[in-house]
Amino acid sequence: MDNFSPGFHGRTNRFEGRLPPGQYPTESFPVLSAGPTPRVLTETWDFGITTESGQRHSWDWDQMMALPQEDLTVDIHCVTRWSKFDTSWRGVSLDAFLEDVETSADFALVHSEGGYTTNLPLEDLTDGKAWLVHTFDGYDLSPEHGGPVRLLVPQHYLWKSAKWVKGISLTPQDEPGFWESVGYHDYGDPWREQRTWSD
């Protein structure tokens, strides 16, 4: 069986304590995007962190790949109610990018190719909680799933793990992103079912 339907109840003890309320497990990796899939070349890829004072720190592809690489296995949870367990990624912790960035900001606004944005508390991007990932399941991350690089913040619903990430702005105030401004929850915790403003 390749996929589990929302009504599937067999072998659920395998996921005990790992499946947030309102979610169902799947072995597929559905592709959901707010717009068309951009084609970003690693030769021209650039990632920048801009502080609240306007100072920009930037990395090209080779500079990112020269940073310490981490292999991680995490569960991911989509706001559309599917969860995928034990996903394997390779990338760079946000801690490595933020190491020499001086800021007193409390929030981050993540920017992607095509204009997509999403917001997060800065503390949710530090201390080993977030990565820029370029490899999925041993292969280069496909464009459909955010390649060449996406953000991965597995403790939030997956819309917070922005695809095609190109930069982060550090801000003193919280600034809603694309989905947050049209009704999605500002924080997006799967374990509290924070899907919409009213949750």
pLDDT at position 37 is 86
Residue 124: inside a domain: yes
Supply 48's token pair. Answer: 């920048």
Half-sphere exposure of residue 41: CA atoms within 13 angstroms, side-chain side = 2
Establish if 122 belongs to a structural domain: yes
pLDDT of residue 31: 81
CATH for 144: 3.90.420.10
What gap in Å lies between CA 112 and CA 148, rounded to an integer?
12
**Where do we find the tokens 């109610």?**
81
Paired sense of beta strands 82-93 and 24-25, if any: parallel
Report pLDDT for 126. Answer: 97
Task: Give the integer Cα–Cα distance in Å for 19 and 75.
Answer: 9
Establish if 106 belongs to a structural domain: yes
Determine, yes or no, domain membership for 197: no
Q: What is the model's pTM?
A: 0.90
What is the extent of the structural domain holding 163? 46-190
Q: Is residue 196 part of a domain?
A: no
Contacts 24+ apart (CB under 8 A), 27-34: 27/1, 27/2, 27/3, 27/84, 28/2, 28/3, 28/84, 29/84, 29/87, 29/145, 30/78, 30/80, 30/82, 31/144, 31/145, 32/78, 32/80, 33/144, 33/163, 34/114, 34/116, 34/178, 34/179
Q: Which of 137, 128, 164, 130 is nearest to 39 (CA)?
A: 164
Q: Are 166 and 194 in contact (CB under 8 A)?
A: no
Query: Does residue 32 belong to any structural domain of this protein?
Result: no
Query: Can you give the pLDDT at residue 16?
Result: 77
Which amino acid is located at 141 in the chain? Answer: L
What's the domain count of the chain?
1
In a domain, 149, yes or no: yes
**Res 13: pLDDT:** 59
Instruction: Identify the residue whose tokens are 């659920």.
Output: 12
What's the pLDDT score for residue 89? 98
Q: Measured in whole angstroms, how far is the alpha carbon of residue 10 from the centre of its chain? A: 29
Check residue 196 and give its pLDDT. 94
Q: Per residue of the chain (199 residues), give pLDDT as tens.
A: 344 444 444 555 577 799 999 999 999 887 877 678 889 999 999 999 999 999 999 999 999 999 999 999 999 999 999 999 999 999 999 999 999 999 999 999 999 999 999 999 999 999 999 999 999 999 999 999 999 999 999 999 999 999 999 999 999 999 999 999 999 999 999 999 999 988 8
Residue 84 lies in a domain: yes
What is the pLDDT at residue 3? Answer: 47
